[in-house]
A and B are shown apart, each in its own frame.
Chain A
Amino acid sequence: MKDLLYLPDVVTLKLCEETCNGCGMCVKVCPHEVFELAGKKAHIIRRDYCMECGACALNCPVQAITVNSGVGCAAGIINGILNNTEPSCGCSGSNSNCC
């Protein structure tokens, strides 16, 4: 089925093509085919499909990718606002409400 698209032009994903060593890990781990390997370097080809999961940044062995990943659910953000912290699920074990 067709890929669903969320809000355009908002994600914090950045790739430094100079630093990239062409290993292709980002292509392997991305769940939405945001990257493509071409000419021995990775490129972002579907930026708006990025969900900021962070798998690419974490698995890049040369740290060529940065993205602001973290708890991305509305409930977590509300929780963060109420407790004056970063967004957090509050489901760290005993209260497994969301996941």
Chain B
Amino acid sequence: MKDTFSIGKVPINGTSVPLVSTMLNSADFMGAVMVRWGINRDNYLVSPGLYAFGSPGPTSDVFVTANYKLSFDTLRKNLSGVNGWILVLDTRGVNVWCAAGKGTFGTKELVSRIKLVSLDKIVNHKRIILPQLGATGVAAHIVKEESGFNVHYGPVRASDIKRFIDDGYRSDKEMRRVTFGFEDRLKLIPNDFIYGKFYLLGAMAVIFIISGLTRNGFSYRDFSGEGGPAILSVFLAYLSGIVITPICLPYIPGRPFALKGFITGSIVFLILLSLNLKGKNIFEIVSWFLIITAISSFLAMNFTGSSTYTSLSGVKKEMKISLPLQIGFAISGIILQVIGKLN
């Protein structure tokens, strides 16, 4: 990805290190907005290696981050007024926490990158500051053994870095805790919405085809008359699972996400039912209940992957029960739809 953020070079030890600003520019802002919608996601990287900010010297701190540009930008925009170095690891363009979970923001890469940039010749101390969430992939005691550098885990959020430094490189409880508030959940939705589009189009296609069914075969009039509301229902079920459930997450009863999605889906169904939009016979009505809740529950269950507090063991347990139910509901729903049309 083209470098729009270097503002110079810092000569050091016979070579030079790119100097970056601690103020984001409009390209950075635009890029951040677009990448949240999945635009240019695969290209939103910076080159791994060492960068300088402010006027760093041999006593300045080293901050480590991933080579996902959003991570890099989030770090540097919180370092204004500080002088130091940024060590960017090659995480294949993935953010710190996910990369740590996969091992790419890991002990091996960190040790190797420290050696590659000859960090021991750049600073005269052995302190290296990592985002706390990197701990999922980095073993601090092994980094010390293999590189001589002491990993200090900084706060979870870059916005707490200056306070962390002022408090003598210590994180208090708040700085160490990950939450999942409204804004955090909201930011994740556009990406999930876009990436789910194939599920959405697939479901819409199936429903659209069924909508044209009558006892005498396919009817164009039925496609155009009934197809519209049918596709709208599928779209609303999609919104229920991908947008509404995440937004309202803490307020929907039930701990499993699949259950929360089922509840939101049921509410969407009841609203459509009360607006008299759910078909003329009992088969169609029941089928829509099954289809809408299946879609909403499945997509809500997928949101566990974007959440910050679900455990692998919990998701496995949730899925063992929910996935067969969702599949069962969907298939029964489709069968009842067909029966309803042919009636």
Which residues of chain A have a CB within 8 Å of any CB of chain B? 1-8, 10-12, 25, 28-33, 49-55, 58-59, 61, 68-78, 87, 89, 91-94, 96-99
Contacts and interface: CB of A to CB of B under 8 A. Distances in A.
B309 A49 contact: yes
| Chain B interface, DSSP helix/strand/loop, else mixed | helix
B137 A68 contact: no
A92 B93 CA distance: 10
Given A10-B314, A54-B136, A61-B141, A74 B304 contact: yes
Contacts of B195: 97-98
A52 B311 CA distance: 5
B41 A4 contact: no
Interface stretch (B9-17, B53-61, B96-104, B201-209): B96-104
B6 interface: no
Contacts, number: 143
B81 interface: no
25 contacts: A3-B177, A4-B179, A4-B250, A7-B311, A10-B313, A11-B314, A28-B132, A29-B132, A29-B135, A33-B173, A49-B309, A51-B308, A52-B312, A59-B135, A59-B138, A68-B312, A72-B305, A72-B311, A72-B312, A73-B304, A74-B318, A77-B315, A78-B323, A93-B92, A98-B305
A51 B314 CA distance: 9
| Chain A interface, DSSP helix/strand/loop, else mixed | loop
B133 A89 contact: no
B312 A4 contact: no
A96 to B, nearest CB: 6
Interface residues of B, number: 53
B255 A99 contact: no
B177 A68 contact: no
B93 A96 contact: yes
B310 interface: yes
Contact of A77 (B139, B250, B309, B319): B319
Contacts of A51: 308-311
Nearest to A76: B305
B240 interface: no
Nearest to A98: B305
Nearest to B195: A97
A44 to B, nearest CB: 14
